[in-house]
DNA sequence: AGCGTTGCCGGTAACGTTCTCGGAAGCTTA
DNA sequence: TAAGCTTCCGAGAACGTTACCGGCAACGCT
C-alpha cells in the first residue's frame, strides 16, 4: 500500500471502467446507486485521495491564489487572515509569499507562482517597486489580479484600499483642534501611494484651517522605526521645532516617540503625536499613542471577494476600487483638551 | 497569443519533435547547438513558461512545502521568514497556512495541502491539538515532515525547538538573584509542550535555590493577553501575593503588566516581571520588560534545512531533534539590583 | 413490431511534460 | 566498403484525471 491509490486501481478492483469511477466520484447523475456505493466504499478503504495536480492540469485551474505581500506585520497578517477566510470558504487555497519590501524578491515570487501554480493573484506591492512589468505579465496571461492596501495608479486592476487621504485628514484635523500649530508629518517613501495619500489628507486639513504648509515639516523617510527616530531628532533640533507630529505608520510613531522622550519633551503637553494603523502596541506604550485604525481584516475579506468575482465573471473589473473608511482612535499622545464626551481608550 | 505557449507550439513552429524541444529546454547534451539556440530564441519570443503542473504530475513531486502554523505573530512570522529563506534557495516554494490555533482548521489545512500539492510539511502544532492522526497520515504517505518550535513527543518526527526549559530556568534564576521571593508563573495551556518545558525550567530553578514551589503560584491559562490580565489580577488579590511573575509569552507579560499597573504596583520595586519571546514591544513599554529571546529566524532556517535533508536522503531522521539556546534579555521590569556590568537594553 | 427514451456504462482523446527506446544519418576505422 | 561509433532526433508511452461520444440493454408507447 505504498503508492497512493488512483482511480485506476479502484476501477480494476471493481471491474468497471475508470470513466464510471470518475463519474461516481463526482456524484454524477448517470451512474447506478449501487455502483456509486461500491466505489465510495472501496475508495474509503484504499484511502483514495484525488490527485489535484492531474485535475488542475486537465481543467487548467489550480484553485490556488497567490498572495504577495511586502511583509507580515500586524496589519498585513491581519489582512491575509481575512483573505484566507473567504478564500477557504470559496474552495481556494492561498499561497503567501513575502517580498520583504524588495523589488527583486517580488519578481522572483511572481515568477515562481506564475509557473502555473495559481489561478491569479492578490497583491500588495513592495515599497521599493517603481516598475510593474512583472505584474503586467500576470494580466497579459489574463489571470485575475487584485491589489489591496497599497494600490497604485500604475497598475490597472481592481483593488481595495482604505481612504488614506481621509485618515490623514482626520489625524491632522484632530491635532489642529487640539491647538497644535506647527504640525509635522513623517511621510513614507515618495513613490508609495498610501504615503502620498495620507500626506494629501494632511495638506487638505491644513488648508481647511488656513495653515500654510511648511516644507521643512514634511519629511519623507523610509517606512521604519529607526529612520523615523532619526528624522524626529532632526525635527526637534530645528530652531522653530514642530509642536505635533503625524506619522503615517505606528512603527514610525514609535520611533518618533523614542526621539521625543529622549529629548525630554512631554506628550501631549509639549508635543502631540498621532500614528497610523492602530497596532496593539499603541495602547501599550506610555503615553498611549493616538492612531488611525484601519479595518484590516475586513479589507482582506473584500480583496478575496473581489478576486473570486473577477475569477468567475470575466467582465472588465479594472475600474473597481473599493474604499474602506479608517477611523481615528484618540489616545493620550495627542489629547490635551478634555474631550467633550470622553472618547479615550 | 491568448493561450500560453507550450512545448508543442515551439515544436510545430520549428518543425522538430517535442522531445527535442524538451531536451533543448533542459539543456541536455544530445542536442545540436543550433537547434538549442533556435528553441531558446523562439521560447523567449513566445514567452514560454514550462507548466509546473505537468512536470509535477510526471515526476510526482511539486517542490512545494506545506507550512502550517497556529498564527503569524511576531515570532512565528520570523520563523516562517527563515523557512522561506532556505526553501527558496533550495528551489522550493512554501505554502503557509494558519490554523488559528484551531484543531479543526489544522485538519482542514492538512487535508488541503495533502491533496498532492506539497512534497512534505513543516509544522508547528496548534495549542488546541491533542490528537495527531491528521499528521500521522502524512507520515503514512511517507512524506517528509518536520516539526518546529512546538514539538511534541506524540509526533515521531525530526524537529527543531529552543531549549524552553533553559529559558524558563534563566528567567526564574534571574528573578531569584534579584531577590524576589514569591515567584509566580503564568504558564500556557496544560497540553502544550513548550508551556510545560518552561514550567519545568521554573521548577528547576526554584529547586536549585531550595525554594518550595507553591501550587497557588502556578497558573495555567490561555496563551493570550486578556487571560493573563485576569489571572494576574487574581494573583495580586491573594493574601500573600507574589512579588514576581514569569510569563511564558510576551503577550501574557503585557496582560500582566496592565494588571500590575492598574493595581498601582511599581516594577521592578514592588514586583518583578519577565516574559518570553523578546518581542519588540517589550522594549517599548514602560517599564521595559525583561524577556527571553529566542533565535526565531535561525530556528526557521534549521527547520527548512532539516526538511531538505529529509527530502533528499531517506534515512530515518525521526530521532533528530535540534535544540537552539534562548537568551534572557534583562530590562527594567525585573532589575532592582544594579548590574555588575551594565547589561540593560 | 417498430420506434424513441431512458439509464447506465466503456473507450478514447486530451491536458503538458519527461523518459526510454530505437534509428537515421555522417564519420571513422580496418 | 562494410562495420562500428557518434551525434542527433522522433515516436510513443506514461503521469491521473475529465469530457466527449457512442453503445447497449430495457422499457414504454403507438
Distance CA B322, CA B342 (A): 32
Alpha carbon B167 to chain centroid, angstroms: 16
Distance CA A21, CA A36 (A): 8
Q: What confidence tier does B342 reach under pLDDT thresholds 50, 70, 90?
A: very low
Do the chains contact at B116 and A84, CB–CB below 8 Å? no
Whether A2 shows a pLDDT value over 80: the answer reads no
Phi–psi pair at A310, nearest 5 degrees: -60, -30
* Dihedral (Cα; A227, A233, A238, A242), 10-degree rounding: 80
Phi–psi pair at B252, nearest 5 degrees: -70, -35
Which of B 310-339 lie inside 8 A of A, CB atoms?
Answer: none
Average pLDDT over residues B213-230: 93
* Dihedral (Cα; B183, B189, B194, B196), 10-degree rounding: 50
Task: Give which of A262, A274, A258, A185 is closest to A226, Cα–Cα.
Answer: A258
Q: What is the DSSP letter of A216?
A: G
B81 to chain A, any CB pair closer than 8 A? The answer is yes
A141 to chain B, any CB pair closer than 8 A? The answer is yes
SS3 A249: coil
SS3 A232: helix
Do the chains contact at A57 and B49, CB–CB below 8 Å? no
SS3 B245: strand
The model's pLDDT over B174-213, given as tens digits with 9 standing for 90+, comes to 999 999 999 999 999 888 889 999 999 999 999 999 999 9
Q: Are A100 and A127 within 8 A, CB to CB?
A: no
The protein residue nearest nucleotide D20, judged by CA to C1', is A19
Hey, what domains does chain B have and what are their CATH numbers? 7-50 (1.10.260.40), 63-162+296-324 (3.40.50.2300), 164-294+328-334 (3.40.50.2300)
Q: What is the DSSP letter of B341?
A: T
Distance CA B249, CA B164 (A): 11
Q: Among partner residues B56, B141, B257, which is closest to A53 by beta-carbon distance?
A: B56
The model's pLDDT over B45-55, given as tens digits with 9 standing for 90+, comes to 999 999 999 99
Residues facing A95 on adjacent strands: A66
Distance CA B47, CA B246 (A): 59
Report the mean per-residue pLDDT for chain A.
93
Distance CA A166, CA A265 (A): 29
Residue A114: its chain B contacts at CB < 8 A? 49
Q: What confidence tier does B135 reach under pLDDT thresholds 50, 70, 90?
A: very high
Which residues are within 8 A (CB) of B237 and not within 5 positions of it... i.e. 6 or more apart?
none
Alpha-helical (H) ranges within chain B are 7-14, 18-25, 33-45, 52-59, 74-89, 103-114, 133-140, 164-177, 193-208, 225-236, 250-262, 296-312
Residue located via cell numbers 497610523: A276
Residue located via cell numbers 523610509: A222
Give chain B's length.
Answer: 345
Q: What is the DSSP letter of B282?
A: G
Whether A345 shows a pLDDT value over 60: the answer reads no
Task: Give which of A321, A326, A6, A51 is closest to A170, Cα–Cα.
Answer: A326
Distance CA A142, CA A119 (A): 10
Distance CA A48, CA A42 (A): 8
Residue A332: its chain B contacts at CB < 8 A? none
- Which nucleotides of strand D come closer than 7 angstroms to any CB of the protein? 7-12, 14-20
Q: What confidence tier does B345 reach under pLDDT thresholds 50, 70, 90?
A: very low
Chain B CA closest to residue A48 = B115
Q: Among partner residues A49, A108, A141, which is closest to B4 by beta-carbon distance?
A: A141
Our measurement of CA A29 to C1' C6, in angstroms, reads 13
B77 to chain A, any CB pair closer than 8 A? The answer is yes
Protein residues with Cβ atoms closer than 7 angstroms to any atom of nucleic acid strand C: A 15-20, 30-35, 54, 57-58, 60; B 3-4, 6-8, 18-19, 22, 25-26, 48-51, 54-55, 57-59
What is residue A342's predicted lDDT score, i.e. its pLDDT? Answer: 46
Interface residue of A2, A25, A55, A57 to substitute, partner B, most B CBs within 10 Å: A57
Pairwise pLDDT comparison (B2 vs A108), residue with the higher score: A108
Report the mean per-residue pLDDT for chain B.
93
Instruction: Provide the angle, in degrees to the nearest 10, between the axes of the packed helices B103-114 and B133-140.
Output: 20
The secondary element (H helix, E strand) that includes residue A182 is none
Our measurement of CA B9 to C1' C23, in angstroms, reads 25
Our measurement of CA A55 to C1' C7, in angstroms, reads 27
Average pLDDT over residues A231-244: 96
Q: Are strands B159-162 and B321-324 parallel, antiparallel or unpaired?
A: parallel
Q: What confidence tier does B2 reach under pLDDT thresholds 50, 70, 90?
A: low
The secondary element (H helix, E strand) that includes residue B314 is none
Q: Are strands B272-277 and B244-247 parallel, antiparallel or unpaired?
A: parallel
Residue B56: its chain A contacts at CB < 8 A? 53
Our measurement of CA B18 to C1' C28, in angstroms, reads 31
Instruction: Judge if the beta carbon of B31 is closer than 7 A to nucleic acid strand D.
Output: yes
What is residue B127's predicted lDDT score, i.e. its pLDDT? Answer: 86
Which residues are within 8 A (CB) of A5 and not within 5 positions of it... i.e. 6 or more apart?
A43, A46, A47, A48, A49
Phi–psi pair at B88, nearest 5 degrees: -60, -45
SS3 B340: coil
Estimate the share of chain A in helix, then strand, then coil, as percent rounded to the nearest 5: 45, 15, 40
Q: What is the DSSP string of B45-99?
A: HTT----HHHHHHHHT---EEEEEES---HHHHHHHHHHHHHHHHTT-EEEEEE-
Whether B340 shows a pLDDT value over 80: the answer reads no
Q: Among partner residues B96, B113, B257, which is closest to A96 by beta-carbon distance?
A: B96
Distance CA B306, CA B299 (A): 11
The model's pLDDT over A303-339, given as tens digits with 9 standing for 90+, comes to 999 999 999 887 788 899 999 999 999 999 999 987 6
SS3 B244: strand
Distance CA B329, CA B202 (A): 16
> Nearest nucleotide by C1' from B30 CA?
D8
The model's pLDDT over A147-196, given as tens digits with 9 standing for 90+, comes to 999 998 888 999 999 999 999 999 999 999 999 999 999 999 888 889 99
Integer-rounded Cα Rg, in Å, for chain B is: 26
Distance CA B132, CA B154 (A): 7
- Residues of chain B with pLDDT > 70: what percent? 97
- The grid cell for A163 is 481612504
A58 to chain B, any CB pair closer than 8 A? The answer is no
The secondary element (H helix, E strand) that includes residue A293 is strand A290-293
Do the chains contact at A95 and B98, CB–CB below 8 Å? no
Pairwise pLDDT comparison (A57 vs B338), residue with the higher score: A57
What is residue A3's predicted lDDT score, i.e. its pLDDT? Answer: 80
A44 to chain B, any CB pair closer than 8 A? The answer is no
Q: Are A236 and A182 within 8 A, CB to CB?
A: no
Question: Residue B343 CB: number of other CB atoms within 10 A?
Answer: 11
Question: Is the sign of the CA dihedral B62, B67, B72, B75 positive or negative?
Answer: negative
- The grid cell for A298 is 475586513
Q: Are B268 and B294 within 8 A, CB to CB?
A: no
Do the chains contact at A51 and B97, CB–CB below 8 Å? no
The model's pLDDT over B77-115, given as tens digits with 9 standing for 90+, comes to 999 999 999 999 999 999 999 999 899 999 999 998 988
Amino acid at each position: 500500500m505504498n503508492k497512493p491509490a488512483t482511480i485506476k486501481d479502484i476501477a480494476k478492483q471493481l471491474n468497471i471502467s475508470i470513466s464510471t469511477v470518475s463519474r461516481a466520484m463526482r456524484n454524477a447523475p448517470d451512474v447506478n446507486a449501487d455502483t456509486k456505493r461500491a466505489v465510495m466504499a472501496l475508495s474509503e478503504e484504499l484511502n483514495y485521495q484525488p490527485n489535484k495536480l492531474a485535475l488542475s492540469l486537465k481543467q487548467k485551474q489550480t484553485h490556488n491564489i497567490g498572495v504577495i505581500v511586502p511583509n507580515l506585520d500586524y496589519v498585513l497578517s491581519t489582512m491575509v487572515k481575512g483573505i484566507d477566510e473567504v478564500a477557504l470558504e470559496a474552495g481556494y487555497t492561498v499561497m503567501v509569499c513575502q517580498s520583504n519590501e524588495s523589488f527583486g524578491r517580488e519578481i522572483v515570487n511572481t515568477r515562481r507562482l506564475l509557473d502555473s501554480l495559481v489561478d491569479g493573484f492578490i497583491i500588495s506591492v513592495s515599497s521599493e517597486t517603481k516598475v510593474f512589468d512583472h505584474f503586467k505579465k500576470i494580466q497579459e496571461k489574463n489571470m485575475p489580479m487584485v491589489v489591496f492596501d497599497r494600490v497604485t495608479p500604475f497598475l490597472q486592476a481592481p483593488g481595495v484600499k482604505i481612504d488614506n487621504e481621509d485618515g490623514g485628514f482626520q489625524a491632522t484635523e484632530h491635532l489642529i483642534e487640539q491647538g497644535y500649530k506647527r504640525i509635522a508629518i513623517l511621510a513614507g517613501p515618495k513613490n508609495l501611494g498610501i504615503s502620498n495619500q495620507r500626506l494629501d489628507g494632511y495638506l487638505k486639513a491644513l488648508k481647511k484651517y488656513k495653515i500654510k504648509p511648511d516644507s521643512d515639516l514634511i519629511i519623507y523617510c523610509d517606512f521604519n522605526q529607526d529612520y523615523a527616530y532619526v528624522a524626529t531628532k532632526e525635527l526637534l533640533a530645528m530652531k522653530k521645532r514642530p509642536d505635533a507630529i503625524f506619522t503615517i505608520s505606528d512603527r514610525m510613531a514609535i520611533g518618533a516617540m523614542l526621539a521625543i522622550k529622549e529629548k525630554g519633551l512631554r506628550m501631549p503637553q509639549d508635543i502631540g503625536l498621532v500614528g497610523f494603523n492602530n497596532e496593539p502596541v499603541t495602547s501599550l506604550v506610555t503615553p498611549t499613542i493616538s492612531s488611525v485604525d484601519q479595518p484590516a481584516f475586513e479589507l482582506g475579506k473584500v480583496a478575496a471577494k473581489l478576486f473570486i468575482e473577477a475569477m468567475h465573471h470575466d467582465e472588465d473589473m479594472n475600474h473597481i476600487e473599493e474604499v474602506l473608511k479608517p477611523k481615528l482612535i484618540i489616545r493620550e499622545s495627542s489629547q490635551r483638551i478634555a474631550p467633550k464626551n470622553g472618547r479615550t481608550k
